[in-house]
Structure 1
Amino acid sequence: MIKLSKKNILSLFFLIVFISCKTDKKEEKTPTTKPNIILFMVDDMGWQDTSVPFWKEKTPLNNIYHTPNMERLAKQGMKFTQAYSTSVCSPTRVSLMSGMNAARHRVTNWTLRRGVSEVKPPKGLTMPEWNLNGIQPTDSIERSTHVTTLPKILKDNGYTTIHAGKAHFGAIGTPGENPLNLGFDINIAGHAAGAPASYYGTKNFKKDIDKHSIWDVPNLEKYYQKDIFLTEALTQESILALDNAIKGDKPFYLYMAHYAVHTPIQGDPRFEKKYIDKGLNPIEAKYASMVEGMDKSLGDLMDYLDDKGIADNTIILFMSDNGGLSAVARGGEKHTHNKPLSSGKGSAHEGGIREPMLVKWPGVTKESSSTDDFVIIEDFFPTIIQLARIENYKTVQPIDGKSFTSILRGEKQNNNNRALFWHYPNNWGPTGPGIGASSTIRKGDWKLIYYHIDSSFELFNITNDIGETTNLAFKEKAKLKALSKELGSYLRSVNAQMPIQTNTNNQVPWPDNQEVLNSL
C-alpha cells in the first residue's frame, strides 16, 4: 500500500483540477454553430443537362454540356440518381415550401394572375377548382393553400433567410407573390411570374424597355443598360447579401433560385460561341450557354464560401424544379432532349419528373458518393429543418415529406419500397408522351400512370426500361391492380381533386375504380 504525504496529496489534487479544466475548455470549443444552408434551384433543368452523369453510364448529352462546378460539387458530396420533383414549376415550389405533396396542397399547375387559370382545359375534361392562387401566409385568400413555410421556420429559429431569383409561389395581387411575406428577410428579384421577360441587362431584363409587363424582372435597376446576363446579376446580388449576412452572428439560408434555364432561350454571351463552334443547333447552343452560366454561378458561390472560410460549415443542395423542356421551343426533335428518359417538362414520364440532384454536407456526406434511393421534392422541407438542427417546430399543414438526412449520413436504406405519388388534374398545353391530366405512383421497380381523359393506364418497369418504351399494363395486370389500389387509396386519403368528364358531368373515376379495372 502506497502512502502519500500531504505534499503529494496536494500535488495530485491540483493535477486533477488542471486536467478537469483542460477537459472543460476542450468541450467549450466543440462547434455549436448551426450550419449555413444553400439550396441551389435551377428552373427547367433536365436530368441530362450536365456533364455529370446521373445514369449508369455517360451519354452523348452529357458530352454536350460543360458543368465543371457541378462535377466539383459531385466530387465533394453525394449524387442522387433517382431524385424527383413534379412535372411543372409551381407545384414543385409549393411542395418545397410546405412539405406537402401536390395532391394535398392542390397547387397542381402553374400560377400567375389571381383567380385565373392560365391554360384552358382539354376537350372532354373540366379542371377542378385547384388552388390557382398559390401558397399564402394567411387563410383569408380564396383558392390558395395556407402554410407555415420552410423559410419562416428557419427565420424563427435564428436564420437569416435570403431569396434570390424566381419565386412563383403566389398569384399577382396576393400576399404570397412577395417572398418577404413568406419568411424571407431579403428578396432579390422574386415575384409572381415564373419566367423573365429577358435575360439581358442591356434590355433592363424586360421584353420592351418602354413598356411594363408582368414578366419584367423586378428590383435589378442597378444593372439596367449594362452588359450583364441575368444569371450573373443574381449571383452578384446574392454574394452581396451573403456579405452582409456573415457580418452577424446568425447562420444563413440562401435559396438561390435561378430563372435559368427557363424560356426565353437566350444565349449567354460568355459561353454561346463555344457551342456554336461545336456545331450545335443555334437554339441548342443558346440553351447550353445558359446551362454553363448557371454552373458558373454555382462555382462562384462555392469559391465565395472557400474565400470566406465558411465552406466547412455550409451545406449545399442542388436541385431542379422539373424536367428539361422538350415539347416546345427547343431545337431538334421533340421529346428527345432528356434521353435516355422519355419526354420532358409537363410529362408524367421520367423526362418530366426525374432531376439532377447533388448534396454536400461537409464532414458527413462521403465524397464522390452516389445513391439510387428515392427522394421527392417535398422531402426537402423536413430534411432542411433537420439539417438546421431545429426541433419541436409547428406547422398549420400536415407534412408528407420524409427527411433524407440518413441517406446523407450513408446509412443503409430500404426506401425504394416507399411509394411516391404525383397528381396533375390539369392541362399543361403541349402534347407528347406522358403529357396530360394524370395520377402516378412509383414503387420499387414499377411505375403506373393513370390518364384522366380516358381512364387508361401505362405501366413500366423503370429499372429494366428507363426510357418507358414498353407499356406492360395488359401483360402485368396483377401489378397494375395492386398499384392502382395503392394510388387510389392515397388520393382519397389526401382529398385529392379529380377533373369532371364533360360528356357525363361526373368526376373522373379513381384509378382503382372496379369498372375501370374490369375494362382492361
Structure 2
Amino acid sequence: MYILADDLGYGDLSSYGQTHFQTPTLDELAAGGIRFTQHYAGSTVCAPSRVSLMTGRHTGTSYVRGNYETGPRGFGAELPLRPDDLTLGEVLQGAGYRTAAIGKWGMGMDGTTGEPLKKGFDYSYGVLNQAYAHYQYPDSVYVNGRRTAVPGNQGGARGAFSGDLYTEEAIRFITNSADDEPFFVYLAYTTPHAEMLVPEDSLFQRFAGQFEKSPFTKGTQGGGYSAEYGPGYGAYASQEHPFAAYASMVVRMDRDVRRIREALEARGLAENTLILFSSDNGPHAEGGAVPERFASAGPLRGQKRDLYEGGIRVPFIAYWPRGIRQPAVSDHLSSFWDILPTVADLADADLGDYSTDGLSLAPLLTGDTSNQQKHDFLYWEFHERESSNQAVRKGEWKAVRMKPEGPVELYHLPDDLGESEDVSAQHPAVVAEMEDIMREARTLHPLWPLKP
C-alpha cells in the first residue's frame, strides 16, 4: 500500500520534527519501520512527481516533466501517460495483485491512454483532473472512468470532505478483498494542498483556538479556467483560519491512516502488508498557508516549486512488521523513481526490457543492507519559471542551477543542510562534474526544452 500526501513538507510530521501539532499514527509507523531522512520526490510540483513515482523515471527521462496545462481537456487535465509507460499498477497487476487507485490521479483523464483503468488498476475512485483536486469538497469524482456526483457536495454544499471519501473507499477495498488475493492500494490524498478547507469539527475548532487568525480571501491567489468546469475554476475558497485548517488537515490525515491500519488489522493483514508513506513535493504557500508558520520544510531551504531541499526532500516511511525485522532511521539516498523497481523486486515481477532510473530498496527493507545498491547521483529539472532549473544530488554535494549554462550553486549538505553558503568557487572540480551530469542525465523532449 502506498499513501501519498499532497504538498506535505519534510517537517510536517512530528517524527520529522514538527512541534506545533502531532501525528501519532505516522510516528508509530516510523518507530516500528524505517524512517528515511534523505528521500526525494520526483519533482517539486504534482504531475511530474507522481509520474516519476508511478513509472520509475526522473524528470530528465520521464515523458511528463511538468504540470502541462495546455491540453484539449483544459486546465489541470495534464499530459496523459502513454501505453509504453509502465506503472506500479501494471507491475503488480501482472504479478497477480488486485489493484486500486484512490484519490488524486493527475496522469490522464477519462478516455485517454493515461486513465487508471488503462494503467494497471482494476478499480479507480477519485479526481482525474489534478486542478479539480484543489477543491476539498468535490462535487463529482470519477469511478472507474465515469464521472459521478458526490451527493453531499451539490450546489456548493460542503458535506463530504475529500479525505473522508478517499479513506472510506480504501477501507472498503481492503474489506472486500478476497482472503487469497494480494492487493495494492495507491491512496493519494489531496491534503494538505490548498484549498484550505476542512470539516469544522472539534479538531478544527481546537486548532482555531490555538493558532492566530490570518484570513485569506478568495481570488487573491489561484484562479484559472477549465473548458470542462468553467471560469474561476481552481480559485481557492476563503478561509479565516488557514493555519488551523493546515494543522487540522495533517492531523486528520494521520487519523485516517490509523483507520486504514485498523481495517488491515480487522482482516488479519496488518503484519504482512507493506505500507509506504510520503509526499509529492515540499510545502505550499497557497490559499493562506505559510510554510514558515509551522517550519513545514524543517531545517531545509525552499518550498514547493523550488529545487532546493525544501522543495524536493520529503518524509518517507516504510512499515512492514513481517518484512522489516529491525526498525531503523536510514540516511540512505533514495527517490520516487526507486519505488517501481522496489515493488517489482518484492513482488518477484519481471520488468522485461523496461528501463528505470531507480534502484530497488528491497535489500534495505528486508535487512540485507550489504547488497543495497547506491545511486551515483539524483537529477531533477523544472520548467515552470522563466528559465529551466536543474538540480543534482551526488553524495554529500548538492548543485542547483537556475538557468541552463548559468552558474552552478554548490552546497555541502553535511555542513550546510539549509543550503545557505554557495561553495562553488572553492570546488571547481565538483562543479564541473555536476555540470556534466546536468548535461548528460537528460534526454531531449519537445515539450520541455531547457529554457535559457
Q: Structure 1 residue 466 and structure 2 residue 403: aligned?
A: no
309 and 334 in structure 1: CA distance in 2 versus 1, 3 angstrom threshold = closer
- Aligned positions of 1:199-218 closer than 5 A: 199-200=136-137, 205-206=138-139, 218=147
Aligned-partner SS, 1:394:
coil
Q: Structure 1 residue 405 and structure 2 residue 362: aligned?
A: yes
111 and 65 in structure 1: CA distance in 2 versus 1, 3 angstrom threshold = farther
1:234 is matched with 166
Name the CA distance, whole Å, in 1 between partners of 2:377 and 2:133: 35
Number of aligned positions between the proteins = 414
Q: Structure 1 residue 263 and structure 2 residue 194: aligned?
A: yes
Name the CA distance, whole Å, in 2 between partners of 1:132 and 1:368: 39
- Aligned positions of 1:8-23 closer than 5 A: none
Aligned-partner SS, 1:102:
coil
280 and 404 in structure 1: CA distance in 2 versus 1, 3 angstrom threshold = farther
Residue deviations 1:187-221 (CA, integer Å, cap 9, x gap): 11131324525323xxxx24xx9xx9xxxx95363
- Structure 1 alignment gaps of length 5 or more: 1-37, 120-130, 138-145, 430-435, 502-507, 509-520
180 and 411 in structure 1: CA distance in 2 versus 1, 3 angstrom threshold = same
Out of 88, 91, 96, the position equivalent to 1:158 is 96
Q: Structure 1 residue 48 and structure 2 residue 7: aligned?
A: no
Out of 278, 286, 289, the position equivalent to 1:319 is 278
Q: Larger Cα Rg: Structure 1 or Structure 2?
A: 1
1:39 is matched with 2
- Contact 2:134-2:193 within 8 A present in 1 as well: no
1:180 is matched with 117
Aligned-partner SS, 1:105:
coil
115 and 330 in structure 1: CA distance in 2 versus 1, 3 angstrom threshold = same
Name the CA distance, whole Å, in 1 between partners of 2:356 and 2:275: 23
Residue deviations 1:461-520 (CA, integer Å, cap 9, x gap): 1111111111112222222112222332323xx44676466xxxxxx5xxxxxxxxxxxx
Aligned-partner SS, 1:196:
helix
- Contact 1:112-1:172 within 8 A present in 2 as well: no
- Structure 2 alignment gaps of length 5 or more: 214-240
1:356 is matched with 315
169 and 52 in structure 1: CA distance in 2 versus 1, 3 angstrom threshold = same
380 and 500 in structure 1: CA distance in 2 versus 1, 3 angstrom threshold = closer
1:244 is matched with 176
Q: Which moves more between the two structures, 223-232 or 252-261?
A: 223-232
Shift of 1:411: 3.4
Q: TM-score, normalised by structure 1?
A: 0.73
1:421 is matched with 379
Shift of 1:443: 0.8
Aligned-partner SS, 2:135:
coil
- Contact 1:195-1:259 within 8 A present in 2 as well: no
241 and 500 in structure 1: CA distance in 2 versus 1, 3 angstrom threshold = closer
Shift of 1:416: 5.8
Name the CA distance, whole Å, in 2 between partners of 1:115 and 1:428: 23
2:22 is matched with 66
Shift of 1:311: 0.8
Shift of 1:454: 6.6
Name the CA distance, whole Å, in 2 between partners of 1:187 and 1:116: 20
- Aligned positions of 1:477-496 closer than 5 A: 477-491=428-442, 494-495=443-444
303 and 66 in structure 1: CA distance in 2 versus 1, 3 angstrom threshold = same
- Aligned positions of 1:77-476 closer than 5 A: 77-85=33-41, 86-112=43-69, 114=71, 133-137=79-83, 146-170=84-108, 174-176=112-114, 178-200=115-137, 205-206=138-139, 218-219=147-148, 221-224=150-153, 227-245=159-177, 247=178, 249-270=180-201, 271-281=203-213, 282-326=241-285, 329-331=288-290, 337-366=296-325, 368-390=327-349, 392-394=350-352, 397-412=354-369, 418-424=376-382, 426-428=383-385, 437-452=388-403, 455-476=406-427
- Contact 2:47-2:78 within 8 A present in 1 as well: no
Shift of 1:316: 0.5
- Contact 1:327-1:345 within 8 A present in 2 as well: no
374 and 496 in structure 1: CA distance in 2 versus 1, 3 angstrom threshold = farther
Name the CA distance, whole Å, in 2 between partners of 1:484 and 1:496: 19
Residue deviations 1:232-261 (CA, integer Å, cap 9, x gap): 12111211122222x352100000111111
Q: TM-score, normalised by structure 2?
A: 0.84
- Contact 2:75-2:131 within 8 A present in 1 as well: no
Aligned-partner SS, 1:267:
coil
Q: Which amino acid aligns with 2:44?
A: S
Name the CA distance, whole Å, in 2 between partners of 1:251 and 1:83: 27
Name the CA distance, whole Å, in 2 between partners of 1:460 and 1:218: 47
350 and 330 in structure 1: CA distance in 2 versus 1, 3 angstrom threshold = same
- Contact 1:373-1:415 within 8 A present in 2 as well: no
Aligned-partner SS, 2:60:
helix
342 and 326 in structure 1: CA distance in 2 versus 1, 3 angstrom threshold = farther
CA root-mean-square deviation: 2.9
- Using the aligned pairs only, state the percent identity: 27
Shift of 1:113: 5.1
Structure 1 segments of 4+ aligned residues over 6 angstroms from their partners: 116-119
Q: Which amino acid aligns with 2:335?
A: I
Shift of 1:279: 2.5
Shift of 1:275: 1.4
